[in-house]
Chains A and B, each alone.
Chain A
């Protein structure tokens, strides 16, 4: 009923970027910015909280349920925390024919977690995902962090573990 003006975490921090995002779309189509704002929100914690959904709704002139629906529909948005680095390995048809499934199993075994789980230190979550458009460079994965997305192609378990080591050290 009365707008709750407490929630302006995003606006406070990223006001310039928000304006840039909104500028892409016609003035009466702010709703188009919802997805971009959700990516922005995930920069902080890797997932979207309810108050932030409320804030995005306000910025885009929608309602919080609209925003929640978007979070639910699209697989790159999360409403729960995961590891700082989400390693998302493609195990779809083509990659599976090039050893992607064995790669995931072995990687997880080395990390002492199951697929879909997060390492104890909260650093890494390993997930199986659908085709990433890199079928000729399997095994491959993308890493989703607050910063964005990054591809790692032609992987071996050793290479990947090395990468994870580097992340650990840089923490």
Chain B
């Protein structure tokens, strides 16, 4: 344990760990020392000088080394003649800090006066007005009047786009450097910086596109003035007009805690509208950050394209119908189909939705299929991370393995936290077939050929384990590789190990095999059932883990499964849109979705579902933390929550399901699944104090991130240990001489939840492929050419990007980009530009 140090701050005696900075000690004691440049997530820089305090230290007699005492026996305190910065000074034993003395207050007032000399007084039209640290502190400590002559003020540009997402108001900037430091210290992308010097300092971005970072929005939260604002929210509303609802981001498996800010407004015909998404603190999940997709890609929930009433096919056409009619029809046909009912649902749905769907389907012997290309969810449930796992606690003693995943693109906040853990000393091992950004922070980078991902892990196991697992001939070179052996030893010796596996270049079979290999590695090295140990899936959707947990499984051959079903019940999935060859339907198809998707257009019945902003529910994150979300806006017209819809269908089939209270569905889940036995809505909504303290009335400390008062969620216990599996290593035969398309995952894709957010369009690429430069030369393709790619009989026109990092014979093809790719496939490409010319 670190030593405790006792000191007094404004008369209050506090004990804090040695090394604590005075600002933080004060904060813990409930005393506010105002700051601008200091931020508890970043290194102190002592630039703004706002936190000046008087500091006294016990006087020590030089000769004797003893404390000098006053007449009454108390230690004599010697105050330094200068004010000192509380944000850079660590506490020491017996220190006396005066933050509220006349001298300290005068110092603070001086600094505020300096800051205000250059600051415009445009609070009435400033987006930060109402939640602005500078405004608040000026009211609290500032001088009443300016002694600066107004006409000597600097007038600077007020609408400088740093990129299309973030705007800078140069006049308002107080040069605290928080944004620049966030980007360099926390994110590791110096895409914004200071330009000029002295009073002329300004923030710039030279990247292409401007402010090229997935995390840019966070700078607007920590900016202590209204200098940085988002295009999405600026001029949109005043903070005090907004209501707030706690929610969970639905875009990726991290499960960032968010707050949805809404208001009712005349311009939207008096409707409640989502005005912005803000991060909500959960130190075990997203700390106080969210990525830009989470922040900006919410517009799909309010898209005018949303379905608002049930539809039923009549005379070949889908026409509006009443709920009863639609439900009756669906229930009847499902009952008839019996065990030929196939339910296809995705991890976009909540646990409650998935449970009811699964329960309905299994009650009549039907099949519940997870719409996903990624396997291994059964294994993450078995050897998943132990309770109390938290990337923020990982340091030297922990090995973190990333395999088959471009983590920045697939789970940005994990990327951030893994990067920070690596910088704190965690042994980061990145194993990918090509270079990714995380390589920069890795202690070890291993490469393998696409198709050999589980081979490399098995080679590691065989390097350290007495029990040798099956090897294939192909593995030979990995088995003999010294780097791999050393890495295996590193893992075996690490106190903790977590493995994050993804689906880069992998379909279902490959990812399932990889998950098995990783699970085996964790088992043979004993890295299970403890905090900061275990397996994490980098899933394509927010609640894939929950879907696995309630019993959904992906299908090895989805086409065949769909063809053999008599009735299809498809929720939150668009197979026909993603894969034209899945457009063939069963006799009867029900689609439940937010939009009239390509699949919905083929359906016999369409149910309009509520978006996550309109209802309650829970998601299980990749770290197997169950977290609740709450309704933020009223339901759109006739829409219902997914679990209610299926409960109503079920009811008509004589199956009992909870249809009203999501919490009661969770009670049923808890009763049915041992892992969930401890979970209840009450427990999910519990909070305990987190550090750093954010929110409340002192926004200058942590920024405008919301305090968490609605629940930190609960991590699930891992299940039973699986035996080591003798599963032969997956090895896609990718014979040379052919071109192979392998799927990769991107954050900004052309998915349904992305496209309606127009402001992100500049960041979404056109459908493209990446090809090795030499390979391209052979094919006569140059950078930017349009090429025709024929993949499983389907032709797509795509832009060619050249990159030497891609292996020969491989084409990288992003998923969810309008190109039908689920697993590695052989392709042919033709240069269309050439043909046209």
Contacts and interface: CB of A to CB of B under 8 A. Distances in A.
In the complex, A touching B, CB below 8 Å? yes
Interface of A: 1-2, 50, 53, 62-69, 71-73
B205 interface: yes
Interface residues of B, number: 17
Given A65-B204, A66-B193, 6 more contacts: A63-B189, A64-B206, A68-B195, A68-B206, A72-B195, A72-B204
A49 to B, nearest CB: 12
B192 interface: yes
A81 to B, nearest CB: 18
A64 B207 contact: yes
B587 interface: no
B801 A65 contact: no
A65 B190 contact: yes
B423 to A, nearest CB: 15
Contacts of B581: none
A50 B205 CA distance: 12
B194 interface: yes
Contact of A72 (B194, B207, B770, B802): B194
A34 to B, nearest CB: 12
A53 B207 CA distance: 11
Contacts of B196: 72-73
B397 interface: no
A2 B770 contact: yes
Interface string B191-232: 111111100000011110000000000000000000000000
Contacts of A67: 206
A4 to B, nearest CB: 9
B803 interface: yes
A67 B190 CA distance: 10
Q: Which A-B residue pairs are the 7 nearest by beta carbons?
A: A72-B195, A69-B193, A64-B206, A65-B206, A65-B193, A68-B206, A72-B196
Contacts of B803: 2
Contacts of B205: 65
A64 B196 CA distance: 15
B737 to A, nearest CB: 26
Interface in B780-805: 801-803
A53 B206 contact: yes
A126 B433 CA distance: 57
Nearest to A73: B197
Interface of A is mostly: helix
16 contacts: A2-B770, A2-B801, A2-B802, A2-B803, A53-B206, A63-B190, A64-B207, A65-B193, A66-B193, A68-B193, A68-B206, A69-B193, A69-B194, A69-B195, A71-B195, A73-B194
Interface string B793-837: 000000001110000000000000000000000000000000000
Nearest to A53: B206
Contacts of A1: 801
Which of A65, A67, A68, A71 lies at the interface centre, i.e. has the most chain B CB atoms within 10 A of its CB? A65
Interface of B: 189-197, 204-207, 770, 801-803
A64 B208 CA distance: 9
Nearest to B184: A66
B434 to A, nearest CB: 12
A44 to B, nearest CB: 20
A111 to B, nearest CB: 27
Contact of B207 (A2, A65, A69, A73): A65
Contacts of A63: 189-191, 206-207
B270 to A, nearest CB: 43
A63 B803 CA distance: 19
Contacts of B194: 69, 72-73
A53 B193 CA distance: 14
Nearest to A3: B803
Contact of B190 (A50, A66, A71, A73): A66
Contacts of B802: 2
A63 B191 CA distance: 7
B592 to A, nearest CB: 37
B190 A62 contact: yes
Contacts of A69: 193-195, 204
A65 B195 CA distance: 9
B572 to A, nearest CB: 30
B204 to A, nearest CB: 6
A86 to B, nearest CB: 18
Contacts of B189: 63
A63 B196 CA distance: 17
B773 to A, nearest CB: 9
Contact of A65 (B192, B197, B770): B192
Nearest to A6: B783
B197 A50 contact: no
Contacts of B195: 68-69, 71-73
A6 to B, nearest CB: 9
A50 B204 contact: no
A130 to B, nearest CB: 12
A68 B196 CA distance: 10
A78 to B, nearest CB: 13
Nearest to B193: A69
Nearest to A1: B801
Contacts of B191: 63, 65
A63 B180 CA distance: 13
Contacts of B190: 62-63, 65-66
A1 to B, nearest CB: 8
Contacts of A2: 770, 801-803
Contacts of A72: 194-197, 204
